[in-house]
Each structure stands twice: as structure tokens, then as C-alpha cells.
Amino acid sequence: MKKLFRSVFALFAMTSFAVAADKKDIVDTAVEAGSFKTLVAAVKAAGLVETLKGEGPFTVFAPTDEAFAKLPKGTVEDLLKPENKDKLVDILTYHVVSGKVMSSAAVKLDKATAVNKKEIKLAVKDGKLTLNDSAKVATADIEASNGVIHVIDTVILPPAK
């Protein structure tokens, strides 16, 4: 019986490790999804790739390409210019919270502090987690090796200082 238990435990441990090893980091998960091309381009332009590939854990509220398309015409192109890097970094880091916050925990919060030290207002409206009364979480709890991604339908902009 002990032998059987050890064998089952060893198999479980190997399977768990294999599943964990298969998970990609936040950046690679976003790239693979295919609906975050604008976000990935912005992360590259801001020089945040290595950070978001780092150990974390991070919670990323990831706007889709459609979310970026809602911004006024020319906004994304302007933000991607080298002279606007600081503003781009501020916007992108406003979409990231330190730690791994799953949706089951996020729905119980009324605010979260982004890595740029600015607060994001959280609320549940019509059964959906909402950020700053504008962005809705369309898909929650996409796990990555270094955190979690929650897909949002609108880019959130940090409050002025």
C-alpha cells in the first residue's frame, strides 16, 4: 500500500510540475493569445518586456486590440513615439498590480494600487468586475507562470497627479 501511495504521489508531483512548466509568462501568454498585438507593441516600446517576463507575480488587466481601438484616432501611434515613453509607461503600469489577484478576490475589493502607485477603482456591476466605472473584465483568471491576466474591454487611463 505504501508503495502504491508513493507511486501515485510521485506521478502526481511529476504531472503537477509538467503542468506548471507548460505555463508561459505573462508576455508570452499575451503574444500567443493573438488579441493583444497593440498591448504587446506598447510593452515593447515602453521597455517593459523583461519586467513582465520577470518573477512577479503580477496581475495584469490587459486591454484587447479592440479596447485600444476605442481610443481617439492617433493616440496609440503618439504613445508609441520615443518622446512619449514616460506617458506610455505610466499608462501601462496602471494596468498592472503587484501580486496574483484572482477574480474571486478582486470582486471583494473596492480598489487596487497599480505598480505606478495610482489607485484603480474596482466594483461589480451587472455581474461583471469593472475598473474605474468604464472597463469591464471580459475574461478573468488567465493564469501565467508569473501571475494572472484579466482581459478588459477598455484601456484605463491613470488619474492626473
* pLDDT single digits (tens) 113-136: 999 999 999 999 999 999 999 999
Q: How confident is the model at residue 25 (pLDDT cuts 50, 70, 90)?
A: very high
Cα angle at 96 between 95 and 101, to 5 degrees?
A: 115
The half-sphere exposure of 2 on its side-chain side, counting CA atoms within 13 A, is: 0
Mean pLDDT of 32-52: 94
pLDDT of residue 161: 67
Topology of 24-152 in CATH?
FAS1 domain (2.30.180)
Q: Tell me the Ramachandran region of residue 133: left when phi exceeds 0, alpha when psi lies from -120 to 50, beta otherwise.
A: left
Q: How confident is the model at residue 60 (pLDDT cuts 50, 70, 90)?
A: very high
The cell for 80 is 508609441
Q: Is the pLDDT of residue 5 over 90?
A: no
Q: How far is 71 from 29, CA to CA, in rounded Å?
A: 24
Q: Are 25 and 53 in contact (CB under 8 A)?
A: yes
The half-sphere exposure of 147 on its side-chain side, counting CA atoms within 13 A, is: 26
Helix pair 85-93, 37-45: axis angle to 10 deg: 130
